[in-house]
Every structure is written in structure tokens, then in C-alpha cells.
Amino acid sequence: MSTCEFAQAQENRNDPSHKVIIIDDKIYDVTEFHREHPGGAKVLLTHIGKDASDVFHAMHPESAYEILANYYLGDLGEADSLTKAKTSDKKAFAEDIRQLRDKLTDLGYFRSNRLYYLYKFISTLSICMASLLILYLYGQQSTTAIIISAFLLGLFWQQCGWLSHDFGHHQVFDNRPLNDIAVIFLGNFCQGFSLSWWKSKHNTHHASTNVDGHDPDISTGPVLMWHEYASANYYGNLAHSTNNNCDAHCCNATSTSAANNKNGFREGFNRFLAENVFPYQTRYYFFVIALARMSWAIQSANHVAKVGALNKSSSLRLYEMGCLAAHWALFLAVTTRWIDSLQNMILFVVLSQSFTGYMLAMVFALNHNGMPVITKEQAESMEFFEIQVVTSRNVKMGWLGTWFMGGLNYQIDHHVFPTLPRHHLATVQPMIEAICNKHQVIYHTTSFLQGTLEALNALDITQKVSRKLVMKYF
Ligand code: HEM
């Protein structure tokens, strides 16, 4: 590359119309490619202008390296500020993690035990069979049987979620499409959650964990706001739009009174929620998470209908839609055919959906909520692996707890190596912790109760900030 071309490449890094990323000290222009990216544009956009080396290595098969070569612009300059911003201490930490990754690869840790996953597959489907059998045999006679069946169905959907998660991260098969087929069966058909919705959301979460404005998992506001930035954004925007609307209404002599009334009602309602509901989120947290499964199922259907499949394939989209429709048709058929009274049908639907909501959301809250939230600017000067460690929480559990949490109690270790099969996490965990201790990177482990209290404390801190902002703005 000529000096002139190189200077242009460096300049493009700071030009918003040019989208470039850095991988292994080489600059790549993804201005055109980002829309075609098979993993979706959203995840790639979280790393524009940044060093994406570790996240790239964590998420791609060999074939992606050949495609990458097409977008090469030039080598990164010695004096580039991006690498200087990271301290040599943190670079050494990242280097140790990379060496561990290479060692684990050589030792075969990234290959799954197929027997383990066969056992997981059969045992998970058995929970569904037990639930359906109880409903089929006793659904017409016993409310207790309906409650037990709903609980087992909820447990099945939760365990199905963890298993889809493993396939979705390509932990099981080397052949990537095979993993995706398993996710469509376990996710779309069995659980009612879409592969494309999940990948787009979850992979973006992995690429930018707890980064404000990037990580979709901490953008649950205004219903649940996990950090002060969310609260500040919400109340700031609300105050701004209220003032602007007021100016527009007051000045616009031609606006009809009906439109004014409608806008006025909406504003009044939003303001009521902002003043009297959202600043008290710890009071309704345990009620809201019962709705989590329904919310994700609706988001899934919406994603497939409006956005389509992750790789833009229309046949994958149709396949996903068909499996989602089959899921709901089967659920409806079982509920209406095997339960006799309307009252018990409602009970079964409400309980099965909310049991899953609780069992999934309580684990999710433990993973990252109440851990540091970082700004996009802070993320720039941090190593990818450092972000993964300091924003995640491990939970100390026995085998039953580990089974219940789908291995996600090893959250830090899963985030450092997302494609590492679940059954190797316990062995690799002390190796990662030792490297963190050596470089003084905080590796946070708690009990289930302590972690839940930390998450609730984060909600509490944020709701207090919200109350102060209500007083400031309204
Ligand atoms: C020029 C740069 C890039 C190229 C050429 C590229 C290429 C690809 C390819 C070929 C796939 C499909 C892989 C498969 O067969 O499963 C893919 C998937 C993906 N890529 Fe990239 N990618 C780039 C940058 C990035 C970056 C910077 C990120 C993260 C910030 C990213 C995240 C992902 C994710 C999450 C997937 C989905 C993997 C899955 O199926 O689970 N990519 N990319």
C-alpha cells in the first residue's frame, strides 16, 4: 500500500460515511459490506472504527477470513491512537487469554462431546413429554395436574432456551448450518423464539456487553432501567419532547383541537407513567418478569415478519415463520383439546407462560445486571476480553443449580469463549480466573441470592436517580 493510500485509509477511520474496522492490525473497509454481513448489520456496526480482532476471532468460521481479505485497505500505523489508548497491562491480559484460547483449541476443548448433547436433547424433550402426558391423562379432571403440567412445560421451555443457546453459539457441530437447524427446531418450533431474532439480539449483546447504546439486553427501559444512563436518556428525552410539543401546539394556530386533545392525552399519560410508575421499578419487577416470555415471543414473531431472516434468505424466513406458527397452533390445540373448562385453559396458559418468564428472567438478571455499564467511549480504550470479564457475573452453584441455569452460571467464562461447549466450562473456569487475578482484572463470583440482590440494588439506584430527574424536569 502506498503512503498516500495508507494516509487515506487512516483518514477514513474517522469519516462517518466510511465504515472501517481493524482486525489483527489491518484496516478493512466495510462501507458496502456491512449491509450484506451474514451475521446482520447491527452487530458489525457496534465495532465501526474500532479494533474488532478478538470479537471477529470469537464469532467466525474459517470461511469468513477469505471474505475479509476482499475488504483490506492497509496496515494499521505504528503511532495509531487506538492501540495506544489500551494500557500495556491490559494488552498483556488479552494476550494471555488469546494464548489460552490457542492452547484449548490444540487440546480439543472447542470440540463438543456429542453424547453429552444427545443426552441434553433427549432429557430436555422428556420434560415436554412428561408435561403433555400429565395434561392428556388428567387435564379433564384435575386442576393440580394442570398446574404441574404448566410448571413442567415452563421448565421445558427454559431448558430448551439454554440448549438452543448452545447450538446458536455453534458449540455443538462444526457444520454451522446444522447448529442453525437445531435452533430452528428447539427455538422456533419447540419454544416459539426465532433464530434470527435471537442471533441478532444475542450476538450484539456478546459483541458489546453492557455497553450503553449498543447492548440490546440493557435497553429494557423505560419499564426496567438498569443504569443511570438509561434513566438520564429517558427523562431527558421526555422533558425535551414535552417542551417541543408544547411549543408546537402553542404556536400552531391551524392544528385541530381533536389532534391537540389526542396529543395532550398521550403526553399526560406518558408523564403519569414517568412520574408515578417507572421511578418505582423494584415494586413491580417481580410482576413484570412474569411477562418476559410473552414479550420475547412477540418480538420474535415481529422480527421474522418485519425484518426477515438474518442472512436475508427468503426460504429461511418462510421456514422460521412456519415453525413459529406450528408452535402456537400446537400449543392452542393441546390447551383447548385436553383441558375441559375455559377457566382451567386460562390457568394453564397464564401459568406456563409466566413460569418460563420467571425461570428465564431470573437467570438473565444474574448474568450482567448490576455489573458495571460502560459508555461507548470507555469501551474504546478497553480490550474485548476485559469488557467481557468485568461486565459479567459468575454464580457459584452445585450440579442442580448449574443444570437449572443451563451452565450460564459460568457467565464470565462463556463470554470469554462463547463457542466453548457447555460441558467444558467448569474445567476452563479456573484457568480464566487465574489469568484475571494475575492481571488484576475483577472476576466477580457470587451466590444466587447475593447476585439477585445486586441486580435489585441496581434497579433501586436507578429508580432513585429517576425520582431526582422527575423533580428536576417536571
Ligand atoms: C469484514 C468483516 C467481516 C466479515 C467478512 C464477516 C463475515 C461473516 C460471515 C461470512 C459470517 C457467516 C458465518 C457462518 O457461516 O456462520 C458472519 C457471521 C457473523 N459475524 Fe461477521 N464478518 C465481519 C465482521 C464482523 C464483526 C466486526 C462482528 C462483531 C462485531 C461480526 C459478527 C458476526 C456474528 C455475530 C455472526 C453470526 C454468527 C452466527 O451465525 O452465529 N462480524 N460474518
Grid cell listed for 313: 434468505
Q: What is the ipTM of this complex?
A: 0.94
How far are the Cα atoms of 160, 181, 265, 345 from residue 331, in angstroms, in the given order? Answer: 15, 21, 38, 11
Q: How many whole angstroms from 57 Cα to the centroid of ligand 1?
A: 9
User: Average pLDDT in the 2-17 region?
Assistant: 59
What is the reported pLDDT for 3?
46
Q: Helix, strand, or coil here: 131?
A: helix
| Long-range contacts of the stretch 79-84 (C-beta < 8 A, 24+) | 80/10, 82/22, 82/50, 82/51, 82/380, 83/25, 83/51
Atom of ligand 1 nearest to the CA of 176: 16
Ligand 1 atom 33 nearest Cα: 39
Strand partners for 21? 28
Render pLDDT for 214-260 as a digit per residue (tens, 0 to 9).
999 999 989 999 999 999 999 998 887 766 655 555 555 555 666 66
φ/ψ bin of 228: left (φ > 0), alpha (ψ from -120 to 50), beta (otherwise): alpha
Residues framing ligand 1 (Cβ under 6 A): 21, 28, 30, 33, 37-39, 43-44, 46-47, 52, 55-56, 59-61, 63-64, 67-68, 71, 176, 199, 203, 207
- Residue written as grid cell 489508548: 85
> Distance (Å, rounded) from C-alpha 152 to C-alpha 156?
6
Strands 26-29 and 20-23: antiparallel
Q: How many whole angstroms from 75 Cα to the centroid of ligand 1?
A: 21
Phi, psi (5° rounding) for residue 445? -125, 135
Q: How many whole angstroms from 203 Cα to the centroid of ligand 1?
A: 10
Cβ atoms 363, 408 nearer than 8 A? yes
pLDDT tier for residue 169 given thresholds of 50, 70 and 90:
very high
pTM of the model: 0.92
Pocket test for ligand 1, best of 19, 21, 31, 44 (most atoms within 8 A of CB): 44
> Distance (Å, rounded) from C-alpha 470 to C-alpha 278?
10
Render pLDDT for 452-462 as a digit per residue (tens, 0 to 9).
999 999 999 99
As a whole number of angstroms, the longest Cα–Cα distance in the chain is 81
Grid cell listed for 158: 427454559
Residue 161 per-residue DSSP state: H
